[in-house]
């Protein structure tokens, strides 16, 4: 895995899967980032890899959501599964603020936040075979052909994720872009330690939406546009 992680570090210096579109941040979101984030934020300057028991103050299963957007799904999952430790990674500050406000409103204490590139979190902060689920819901599809290399799900990224999952750990990707779904399947099928799980039939690589995944804002937008939604669930062997 060392070579794969070095490759990812090199790639991320020149190609990123996101653009920082800060947009308008409300007073409430700004307050949340200023007042609430410091107590929950993961710092990669600490001793690494992260000690999850120390981070959360308890020993529980760990789920990481990459690119949580406005945080609606993350807050819903954290509320529905209080026995799970959640880490959310997101670069969009207004989204981070909105998610933090949701945690505050529901008095949830089982979420920690990485407000930067999730690839750095996985590569530097997460120990091998330490995570139960990694969730990537409606990542930026980068639909133009010249931008396909910016898509988050690439071969090196899949290998890194697989290395961080515990045996039988879950990688769950959801997208409403069929070409991206097809690309994800191709990439994950090529990863030796991952195997498809929960497919509808032997003829389909896609899964029904599991109970743990709430409907997201991007999903609703895609549905309004007439898009199908593709849930892709793989497990580490």
The answer to whether position 219 is within a domain reads yes
Task: Kindly give, in sequence order, each residue whose CB lies less than 8 Å from that of residue 107, ignoring residues fewer than 6 positions away.
Answer: none
pLDDT score of 149: 87
Q: Is residue 22 part of a domain?
A: no
- Give how far the C-alpha of residue 5 lies from the chain's centroid of Cα atoms, to the nearest Å: 18
Residue with tokens 């794969």: 4
Closest CA to 89 of 39, 134, 51: 134
pLDDT of residue 13: 46
112 in a domain, yes or no?
Answer: yes
Query: Which domain, by its residues, includes 209?
Result: 2-17+27-236
Question: Residue 221 maps to which CATH number?
Answer: 3.40.50.150
Partnered with residue 11 across adjacent β-strands are none
In-domain check, residue 60: yes
In a domain, 201, yes or no: yes
Across the chain, which has 237 residues, the per-10-residue mean pLDDT values are: 51 49 86 98 94 98 97 98 98 96 98 96 98 96 75 96 98 96 96 85 84 91 92 96
The pLDDT > 90 percentage for the chain reads 79
| 84 falls within a domain | yes
The structure tokens listed for 35 are 């007042």
Q: How many domains does the chain have?
A: 1
Q: What is the pLDDT of residue 217?
A: 86
pLDDT of residue 203: 77
Q: Pick from 117, 139, 145: which is nearest to 219 by CA? A: 139
Which residue numbers are catalytic? Answer: 140
The pLDDT value recorded for residue 144 is 75
Integer Rg of the chain from CA: 17
């Amino acid at each position: 895995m060392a070579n794969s992680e070095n490759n990812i570090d090199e790639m991320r210096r020149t190609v990123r899967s996101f653009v920082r579109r800060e947009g308008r941040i409300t007073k409430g979101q700004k307050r949340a980032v200023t007042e609430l984030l410091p107590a929950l934020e993961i710092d990669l300057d600490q001793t690494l890899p992260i000690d999850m028991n120390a981070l959360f103050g308890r020993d529980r299963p760990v789920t990481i959501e990459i690119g949580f957007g406005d945080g609606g799904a993350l807050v819903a999952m954290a509320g529905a599964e209080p026995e799970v430790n959640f880490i959310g990674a997101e670069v969009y500050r207004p989204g981070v603020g909105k998610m933090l406000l949701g945690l505050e409103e529901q008095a949830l204490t089982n979420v920690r936040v990485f407000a930067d590139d999730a690839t750095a979190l996985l590569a530097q902060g997460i120990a091998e075979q330490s995570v139960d689920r990694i969730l990537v819901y409606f990542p930026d599809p980068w639909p133009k052909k010249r931008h396909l290399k910016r898509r988050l799900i690439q071969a090196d990224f899949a290998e890194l994720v697989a290395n961080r999952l515990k045996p039988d750990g879950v990688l769950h990707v959801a997208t409403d872009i069929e070409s991206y779904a097809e690309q994800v399947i191709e990439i994950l099928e090529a990863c030796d330690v991952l195997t498809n799980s929960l497919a509808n039939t032997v003829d389909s690589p896609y899964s029904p939406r599991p109970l743990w995944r709430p409907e997201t804002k991007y999903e609703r937008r895609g549905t309004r546009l007439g898009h199908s939604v593709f849930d892709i669930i793989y497990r580490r062997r």
